[in-house]
Structure 1
Amino acid sequence: MQQGTLLEMTVLKLFGIVLFCGLLSPSQEVLSALSCAVSPVAMQNALSKTILQSRLFQRHLQGLVLPSILGNGGLLSAPTSITGLHLVRSQFPRLSVALLSGIGVQLSITAELELQGNCLVGLLSDLIDISVAVNITANIKCTNFESGTVQVVIEDCLCILGAIKINLLSGLLSLPVNEIVLNQLTATLPGLLCPVVDIVVNLVNIHLMSTLNVMTPVGTAGTIHYHLASLPFTSGLFLELDLDGVVQDVGGSIIPHDSSPSALPLLLDNLLVMGVRQGFLNAVVVLMFQIPSQNLTCAPGAFSGASELQEAITTLAPTECSVCHGSHPLSIQLALAGNPLILLEENQATLKLSVLIRVFVNLDGSILNLLLLKADLGLNVHVSIAGGKLVLGLSLGSTSISLESSDVGISNISMLQPHCSSLLAERLVPLLNGVLEVGIPLPNVLDISLLKADIQILAGLLLILV
């Protein structure tokens, strides 16, 4: 039997991390970036894909050799010897999964094994074919969680033999041969098949763990490192996974995020419910909004209302602005002030953002600051999924303008409100959307596709349902 290469076994020792395992208390108490509830059907799909469809189980059965079967015979039967018994092929493998509350996952694999060897009954030598149905059931747990890793434990591996068919090339087969084969296979097969399942489960775990423990870029702004925040928790209805997301800019600085505990809703008919927490989203948006100041002139056609804005400022400070015409047009600088803040409320998401609007004129190298305004924006957030990423789209909802300072004594800015709103809607919001369109990468949990995901928004929690 192929027990795996030395490299495989070394990898297993280093990365023996199983993600389908039990915990004695729910993981909702863990503060994390996102939580996932996975249905038994999704677990079964994931395990079937990695164990059977990839032929991992079948490959590790290749080379399976059974010990010789010897029967001394009785008064009316000849001595029997079956040697060189080996696996020819495995057929019709099927897999099922059950979640055991507070324990872990029960994995069952059924298959039909075709064995072949040499049979000697008395003085008659013949080729023997044996077909045996097997059902292997193993309880899979994990323990000793530390720094995102756990130790894998497989308990109560049980191998039950079903129907056995035995054929000799000559067609001669005695009842004692049937009994000898059945007794020997019942005694030896469990000890051979359960170690295969142990190796396969560890290899599958490494693959599926790679869907949770992953570092992925966020455009050119930085990275997010997803990893398990705690031991998974199993109930009879779902597997819950809590993941943290470390948000880091290109300079290596980590952007912290708060996370309030929040329970996920019922799975119902969904394969996966992923809850992304508000605090984590805010940290990622802070990372993405590393935008330098934007400079533009208040020339006609620069944005809707550019001429009207210049006229309004000229009205407020006619003496100082008299130099703004001709060779000295007004200049405008837009700069983000403070960190953006996403607010998740029932059925809606809003991004709060402050922007400094500096209006000045360059008088042959001398800067005259006419106005410094602060705009507090309420941006409507549209959320979608594209290419496994969370994409945020913004539109201007509300704008509140306040005066920070003026070097020319302007104090009443009420008439500037509509013009500033036009400026921000046309020049700033498209810029922000351009930054956000790269998307927030999400972990590909258990290889579950997010292609047809629905989105719901709760207080403090954004839900992705598959």
Structure 2
Amino acid sequence: MTVLKLFGIIYFCGLLPPSQEVLSGLSCAVSPRAMQNVLSDAIIHNGLLQQHLQGLVLPNIMGQGSLLNSPTSITGLHLVKVRLPRLSVVLLPGIGIQLTIGAKLQLSGNCLVGLLSELIDILVDVNITANIKCTNFESGTVQVVIEDCLCILGAIKIKVLSGLLTLSVNEIVLRQLTATLPALLCPVLDIVMNLVNIQLLGTLNAVIPVGTAGTIHYQLASVPFTSGKFLGLDLDGAVKQVGGSIIPHDSSPSALPPLLDRILLLALRQSFLNAVLTLLLQMPPQTFPCAPDVFSGASRLQEAMWTITPAGCSVCRGTSPLSIKLMLGGNPLILLEENKATVELGVLIQVFINRIDGSVLNLLLLKADLALNVRVSIVGGRLVLRLSLGSTSLSLESSDVGISNISVLKPHCSSLLVETLLPMINGALSIGIPLPNVLGIPLIKVDVQILTGLIVLLV
């Protein structure tokens, strides 16, 4: 029995009962077919198994002679090639995974039968089956044990140049290989799996930059689990600002939809997305003149301002042009409902005049509560959110000149936000939210579902 440290995140073997709840920022379900493809690529197609079996040396095979047969010895027997390797995966619900590797091993050595010495080639079918379980989750890692590594030999073909082999030689070779091969192949499988673990661990435990705003640190959040239909894991997504402070998000559970015939399901929780939006939308206040080259409705906004300004406020109609300052009022909040995503965002709109003496006259300070419609897409392995204005609710915060009725300003303020603020917000969001490259499965032809509390990506 061999302990393979950290290998559980590859095979997602669960000692806990199967669960279909999102317990942290992200959750993932991988189909048995996808897991089989991933492991076949890593172990077989990339030549890792061949590399570590190459040159495998077997003990000498010695056979005693008899009245009818000469003594036989096969020395220098080594593996030349792994032919037709194949790998299969079976999920063991609540236990782990059963991994089976089948192949034809081509062996070569020197054969001495009586006084005749020549080269010998042996082709043997092998089938290696191992049960894998996880244990000891800690700090994003788990330990696994491989239990019941079983190596079964099938058909054996033996070839020498002279073609002179007795039936007893076949029996000797089969008996000796059956006794020695399992003890040699199972440790090699341990080595190969540890190397695959290192390779695939990086797809789950990774720190990914989010533009220049900060980073997201993805890592395994809990012991992986298996069901009969999928292999699942939860990931933490620690959102960190430049400078080191972490933007927190909660971890209340949400039910996952079924995987059905897909190979990968990746679910992102609403609270995690809120943390990333807070990271991306840390915009400084924006100040600009109320001019047509900045905002096409500038003249109409100024006219509307004069209609609501008290008649006695002569300074308001001075030669100094109006200026506008836009400030985000608090963190954005994304709300995920069935087939609908909305971002709620508060914006402070200040309209003011810079007086000749350098002082500022605050004509009015408005609070705009925006409901922004969200369009979700996947671009280059990143989740991209694009916002458009849904509705605006205006309220008056203050006015140094006694303005009290702001009802006529709503359409002009909405136009102002669409022309000036939304392009800046969408520009900040355009870099996208980097996603973990789970097991190297590419996010191609992704279907996006919006559910209550979740954005679900199906591959």
- Same fold by TM (over 0.5)? yes
Q: What TM-score, normalized to structure 1?
A: 0.95
> SS in structure 2 opposite 1:339?
coil
Quote the residue 2:372 is aligned against. Answer: 379
**Rounded Cα–Cα distance in structure 1 between residues aligned with 2:226 and 2:144:** 15
Quote the residue 2:96 is aligned against. Answer: 104
- The correspondence for 1:429, drawn from 418, 422, 428, is 422
Quote the residue 2:148 is aligned against. Answer: 156
User: Following TM superposition, by how much is the alpha carbon of 1:24 offset from its aligned partner in structure 2, in angstroms?
Assistant: 2.4
Quote the residue 1:57 is aligned against. Answer: 49
**Rounded Cα–Cα distance in structure 2 between residues aligned with 1:55 and 1:318:** 82
Code of the residue aligned with 2:382 in structure 1: it is K
> SS in structure 2 opposite 1:19?
helix
Quote the residue 2:157 is aligned against. Answer: 165
Cα deviation, 1:224-277, whole Å, max 9, x if unaligned, reads: 000000011001110011001000000100000023201211111100111110
> SS in structure 1 opposite 2:329?
strand
User: Following TM superposition, by how much is the alpha carbon of 1:178 offset from its aligned partner in structure 2, in angstroms?
Assistant: 0.5
Quote the residue 1:346 is aligned against. Answer: 338
User: Following TM superposition, by how much is the alpha carbon of 1:381 offset from its aligned partner in structure 2, in angstroms?
Assistant: 0.3
Code of the residue aligned with 1:228 in structure 2: it is L
Contact kept? 2:313, 2:401, Cα under 8 Å:
no
Quote the residue 2:300 is aligned against. Answer: 308
Contact kept? 1:37, 1:264, Cα under 8 Å:
no
Quote the residue 2:178 is aligned against. Answer: 186
Quote the residue 1:458 is aligned against. Answer: 451
Quote the residue 1:444 is aligned against. Answer: 437
Cα deviation, 1:386-433, whole Å, max 9, x if unaligned, reads: 100000000000000000000100000000000000000110111100
**Rounded Cα–Cα distance in structure 2 between residues aligned with 1:320 and 1:70:** 115
**Rounded Cα–Cα distance in structure 2 between residues aligned with 1:358 and 1:30:** 42
User: Following TM superposition, by how much is the alpha carbon of 1:30 offset from its aligned partner in structure 2, in angstroms?
Assistant: 6.3
- The correspondence for 2:400, drawn from 403, 407, 420, is 407
Cα deviation, 1:203-230, whole Å, max 9, x if unaligned, reads: 1122111111010011110000000000
C-alpha change, 1:101 and 1:94, in structure 2 (3 Å) is: same
Contact kept? 1:259, 1:278, Cα under 8 Å:
no
Code of the residue aligned with 2:207 in structure 1: it is M
Quote the residue 1:19 is aligned against. Answer: 10
**Rounded Cα–Cα distance in structure 1 between residues aligned with 2:7 and 2:45:** 22
**Rounded Cα–Cα distance in structure 2 between residues aligned with 1:30 and 1:355:** 32
Asked if 1:208 is matched to 2:200, the reply is: yes
Quote the residue 1:9 is aligned against. Answer: none
Contact kept? 2:365, 2:399, Cα under 8 Å:
yes
Asked if 1:75 is matched to 2:63, the reply is: no
**Over aligned residues, Cα RMSD in angstroms?**
1.5
Contact kept? 1:282, 1:341, Cα under 8 Å:
yes
Contact kept? 2:9, 2:201, Cα under 8 Å:
yes
Contact kept? 1:19, 1:232, Cα under 8 Å:
no
Contact kept? 1:37, 1:274, Cα under 8 Å:
yes
**Rounded Cα–Cα distance in structure 2 between residues aligned with 1:145 and 1:60:** 29
> SS in structure 2 opposite 1:25?
coil
Asked if 1:289 is matched to 2:281, the reply is: yes
Cα deviation, 1:56-80, whole Å, max 9, x if unaligned, reads: 1110001200000001122211111
Q: Which consecutive residues of structure 2, in runs of 5 or more, have no partner in the other structure?
A: none
> SS in structure 2 opposite 1:115?
strand
Quote the residue 1:117 is aligned against. Answer: 109
C-alpha change, 1:169 and 1:94, in structure 2 (3 Å) is: same
> SS in structure 2 opposite 1:252?
coil
Tell which deviates more after alignment, 325-334 or 55-64: 325-334
User: Following TM superposition, by how much is the alpha carbon of 1:149 offset from its aligned partner in structure 2, in angstroms?
Assistant: 1.2
Q: What does 1:189-338 correspond to in 2, within 5 Å?
A: 189-317=181-309, 319=311, 322-323=314-315, 327-338=319-330
Cα deviation, 1:274-316, whole Å, max 9, x if unaligned, reads: 1110000000000001100001111234213211111111122
Contact kept? 2:203, 2:439, Cα under 8 Å:
yes
User: Following TM superposition, by how much is the alpha carbon of 1:327 offset from its aligned partner in structure 2, in angstroms?
Assistant: 4.3
**Rounded Cα–Cα distance in structure 2 between residues aligned with 1:51 and 1:108:** 12
C-alpha change, 1:430 and 1:123, in structure 2 (3 Å) is: same
User: Following TM superposition, by how much is the alpha carbon of 1:147 offset from its aligned partner in structure 2, in angstroms?
Assistant: 1.5
C-alpha change, 1:318 and 1:307, in structure 2 (3 Å) is: farther
C-alpha change, 1:343 and 1:320, in structure 2 (3 Å) is: farther
Code of the residue aligned with 2:192 in structure 1: it is V
Tell which deviates more after alignment, 235-244 or 313-322: 313-322
Asked if 1:390 is matched to 2:390, the reply is: no
Quote the residue 1:6 is aligned against. Answer: none
Code of the residue aligned with 1:447 in structure 2: it is G
Quote the residue 1:37 is aligned against. Answer: 29
Contact kept? 1:86, 1:116, Cα under 8 Å:
yes
Cα deviation, 1:173-195, whole Å, max 9, x if unaligned, reads: 10110000000001100111111
**Rounded Cα–Cα distance in structure 2 between residues aligned with 1:342 and 1:457:** 12
**Rounded Cα–Cα distance in structure 2 between residues aligned with 1:218 and 1:303:** 30
**Rounded Cα–Cα distance in structure 1 between residues aligned with 2:405 and 2:223:** 59
**Rounded Cα–Cα distance in structure 1 between residues aligned with 2:55 and 2:398:** 82
User: Following TM superposition, by how much is the alpha carbon of 1:134 offset from its aligned partner in structure 2, in angstroms?
Assistant: 0.8
**Rounded Cα–Cα distance in structure 2 between residues aligned with 1:26 and 1:17:** 15
Cα deviation, 1:416-462, whole Å, max 9, x if unaligned, reads: 00000000011011110000000000001111111211000010011
**Rounded Cα–Cα distance in structure 2 between residues aligned with 1:126 and 1:320:** 116
